[in-house]
Amino acid sequence: MNTQGVSVSLLFPIMKSLVLGGYDWDAFCTYAEIDASLLLREEVRIAQEEFERMVKAAAQYTGDDMFGLHQGQRMGISDLGVLGYVMLHSKTLGQALSAYQKYNFIVCSGFNADIDIEGEDVVISLFLNNSPEVPSRHCVEDMTVSFYQILLGLSCRVIPIRAVQFMYDPPAVMDEYSTVLGVVPQFHQQANTLRFSKEMLDYPVIGSDARLLGVFKAMAEEVRVKLTMGSDLKVKLSRWIIECMPSHFPTLQEAAKELHMSVRTLQSRLKAEGTSYNRLANEIRKELAIRYLAQQEYSIAEIAYLLHFSEPSAFQTTFRKWTNVAPGEYRQRA
């Protein structure tokens, strides 16, 4: 599997923190030697070490020795993109955490979490994949607090932290930890962990929608597969089409504009890769249709409209061309 670093989307929370603090983003980019145009290229992945450098630079630029702690407080579920929406529509916090473990590398291949039950407690260990180095304090505290804030936002209820452990040395002033986390962490520990009562795993996610979960899981799974395959034109274009699908079925002209090339150039490049826009888009439509049919809560008519067919009969005709069977028959066989 490719380890592709950090999605450029995680620069947005840093920008949000700086702007809300009264700082100029472009001036910071100059200070930290960051290409400000990165935010315009959403397919970009940033090396893990480079992202850590950016976070440390933001702490230095603002003079905030607790920048990671404060940054984590500003993280919202939407900042996690499709991963966040899978968590948002999970039934319980336990299921949302499982989704985080499975799809987190879509946002950041470096950081992840282990979840263990110890007696009446659940212990969430936050770690850096395949690295012997201890991550910077600001990055770990950003991840820890944002993780906690997301759990609070999903459940809309108080979730007391029983204990926090960090691997690194304590800072000079620690009062802010009690304000943000409700406890003073233990330092010089073997892992970076959050400890809660295990009953929190059964807390319902407020506003979750099982049918929307199916939509966003399908999207997340497609992105996951594409990220493991590479980043050629077909992969980038497939990911973009999938991201468009909840709202509309994108056209060739829209695709060319998204990829900053002419329609003719896009057609030529796809032809060189042995496909065409229509073929690729319909392959994606077909795969999504198969995924939706596997979920019994969707009717055939609902799937037709989710895939932006003009009417159910048009979907049934097209699906029969794809598979030689009607959608209902395919569902029964499956």
Per-residue pLDDT of the chain (334 residues; tens, 9 = 90+): 344 578 888 888 899 899 999 999 999 999 999 988 887 776 677 888 888 899 999 999 999 999 999 999 988 888 888 889 999 999 999 999 999 988 887 787 667 788 999 999 999 998 765 454 566 899 899 989 999 999 999 999 999 999 999 999 999 999 999 999 999 999 999 889 999 999 999 999 999 988 888 888 888 877 776 665 544 678 778 878 888 887 889 999 999 998 888 898 899 888 877 789 999 999 889 988 988 888 788 899 999 998 999 899 999 999 999 999 999 998 888 6
Is 15 part of a structural domain of the chain? yes
Are residues 197 and 253 both part of a single domain?
no
Are residues 152 and 25 both part of a single domain?
yes
Are residues 85 and 198 both part of a single domain?
yes
* pLDDT value, residue 128: 65
Are residues 240 and 196 both part of a single domain?
no
Residues 63, 203: Cα–Cα separation, whole Å: 38
Extract the tokens encoding 171. Answer: 């800072």
Is 285 part of a structural domain of the chain? yes
Residues 195/116, Cβ–Cβ less than 8 Å: no
Side chain identity at residue 297, one-letter code: E
Residues 95, 97: Cα–Cα separation, whole Å: 5
Residues 307, 89: Cα–Cα separation, whole Å: 20
Does the predicted model carry a pTM greater than 0.85? no
| Structural domain harbouring 301 | 232-333
Count the domains in the chain: 2
Are residues 58 and 124 both part of a single domain?
yes
* pLDDT value, residue 3: 44
Q: By percentage, how much of the chain surpasses pLDDT 70?
A: 93
CATH classification of the domain holding 265: 1.10.10.60
* pLDDT value, residue 250: 92
CA 148-150-156 angle, 5° bins:
100
Residues 284, 47: Cα–Cα separation, whole Å: 29
Among 186, 202, 218, the domain-final residue is 202
Are residues 15 and 134 both part of a single domain?
yes
Is 220 part of a structural domain of the chain? no
Residues 243, 236: Cα–Cα separation, whole Å: 11
Residues 277/285, Cβ–Cβ less than 8 Å: no
Is 224 part of a structural domain of the chain? no
CB atoms within 10 A of CB 213: 22
Is 219 part of a structural domain of the chain? no
* pLDDT value, residue 138: 92
Are residues 175 and 292 both part of a single domain?
no
* pLDDT value, residue 122: 96
**What sign results for the dihedral spanned by CA atoms 239, 227, 145, 33?**
negative
Residues 81/40, Cβ–Cβ less than 8 Å: no
Among 154, 182, 202, the domain-final residue is 202
Are residues 14 and 109 both part of a single domain?
yes
Residues 80, 72: Cα–Cα separation, whole Å: 13
Are residues 170 and 21 both part of a single domain?
yes
CATH classification of the domain holding 170: 3.90.1520.10
* pLDDT value, residue 198: 96
Are residues 191 and 249 both part of a single domain?
no
User: How is the beta sheet containing 192-197 ordered, strand by strand?
Assistant: 111-118, 121-128, 192-197, 163-165
Is 46 part of a structural domain of the chain? yes
Are residues 244 and 187 both part of a single domain?
no
Are residues 49 and 191 both part of a single domain?
yes
* pLDDT value, residue 228: 59
* pLDDT value, residue 130: 46
Helix (H, G, I), strand (E, B) or coil at 115: strand
Determine the distance from the C-alpha atom of residue 163 to the mean position of all C-alpha atoms in its chain, rounded to a whole number. 27
What tens digit of pLDDT does each residue of 64-82 get?
A: 999 999 999 988 888 888 8
* pLDDT value, residue 134: 60
Residues 277/286, Cβ–Cβ less than 8 Å: no
Is 214 part of a structural domain of the chain? no
Is 212 part of a structural domain of the chain? no
Among 184, 202, 220, the domain-final residue is 202
